[in-house]
């Protein structure tokens, strides 16, 4: 049985970046074909709900369905940009929806998987918004609006986020190492993999290994794991 597993995050797919979508399509149809693929949040720059009927949403549905139909195993975790990603979308493309956090056996090792935003506990303002936006009633209210209204809201939220982040110190938007220790202790794992911070790196933490996935911007970051290998690599987009 092929134990090769790939983990990626933070593609931030948008109609403004067809090059990223092209790189993603090439990756899942070639290197990742018939393998396990974990996408740990922010597949989309914004996700309006599983009824999103944009051309981008439909194109990604086809790509992912083709990947799973041809033998790939796909696991999707919502991020801070696409937290409205749900079971309907996953059922359509043949993926498993992951809760955040969750533990899977990866490379023969129990591994804590997270998007990573809950590790950034020094960013108090963001954590306040996250708590509100993950409330089921808040999400239900948003999803009750028309797609046009949701598109306008998503645009405004992205603009507000960009403005807020421009005034924050870099360290505030990175993980809090004490929080990392707490999660690894709570879930009794010696391996943590997450995205969100856009700071790809392998860290030796107090309780084990922490792998940080990178964003797909000018380059695409991919973590390849087998029973014998851990390789964080980058390809040009």
pLDDT tens digits, residue range 175-209?
Answer: 999 999 999 999 999 999 999 999 999 999 999 99
Res 26 pLDDT > 90: yes
First to last CA, the chain: 31
d(CA 205, CA 119): 14
Q: What are phi and psi of 81, to 5 degrees?
A: -90, -30
Q: Of 2-6, 8-12, 81-85, 201-205, where does mean pLDDT reach its minimum?
A: 2-6
d(CA 17, CA 94): 25
Residues 45-85 pLDDT 10s: 999 999 999 999 999 999 999 999 999 999 999 999 999 99
Predicted confidence band at 168 (pLDDT cuts at 50, 70, 90)? confident
Q: Of 87-91, 143-147, 151-155, where does mean pLDDT reach its minimum?
A: 151-155
Predicted confidence band at 161 (pLDDT cuts at 50, 70, 90)? confident
Q: Burial level of 143, CB count in 10 A (0-12/13-18/19+)?
A: middle
* 140-157: average pLDDT: 94
pLDDT given for residue 158 in this prediction: 84
Q: Which CATH number fits domain 5-236: 3.40.640.10, 3.60.21.10, 3.90.1150.10, 1.10.3720.10?
A: 3.60.21.10
Nearest to 3 by CA among 232, 233, 230, 235: 230
d(CA 37, CA 113): 13
């Amino acid at each position: 049985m092929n134990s090769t597993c790939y983990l990626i995050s933070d593609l931030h797919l948008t109609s403004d970046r067809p090059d990223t979508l092209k790189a993603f399509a090439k990756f899942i149809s070639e290197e990742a074909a018939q393998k396990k693929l974990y996408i740990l949040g922010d597949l989309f720059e914004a996700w309006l709900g599983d009824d999103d009927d944009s051309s981008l949403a439909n194109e990604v549905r086809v790509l992912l369905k083709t990947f799973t139909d041809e033998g790939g195993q796909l696991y999707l975790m919502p991020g801070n940009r696409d937290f409205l990603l749900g079971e309907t979308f996953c059922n359509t493309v043949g993926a498993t929806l992951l809760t955040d956090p969750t533990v899977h056996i990866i490379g023969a090792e129990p591994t804590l998987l997270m998007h990573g935003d809950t590790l950034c506990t020094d960013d108090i303002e963001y954590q306040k918004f996250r708590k509100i936006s993950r409330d089921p009633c808040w999400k239900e209210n948003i999803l009750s609006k028309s797609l046009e209204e949701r598109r306008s809201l998503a645009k405004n939220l992205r603009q507000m986020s960009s403005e807020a982040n421009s005034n924050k110190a870099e360290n505030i938007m990175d993980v809090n190492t004490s929080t990392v220790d707490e999660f690894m202790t709570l879930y009794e794992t010696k391996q943590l993999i997450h995205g969100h911070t856009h700071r790809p790196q392998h860290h030796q933490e107090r309780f084990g290994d922490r792998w940080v996935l990178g964003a797909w911007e000018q380059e695409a970051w991919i973590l390849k794991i087998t029973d014998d290998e851990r390789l964080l690599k980058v390809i040009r987009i």
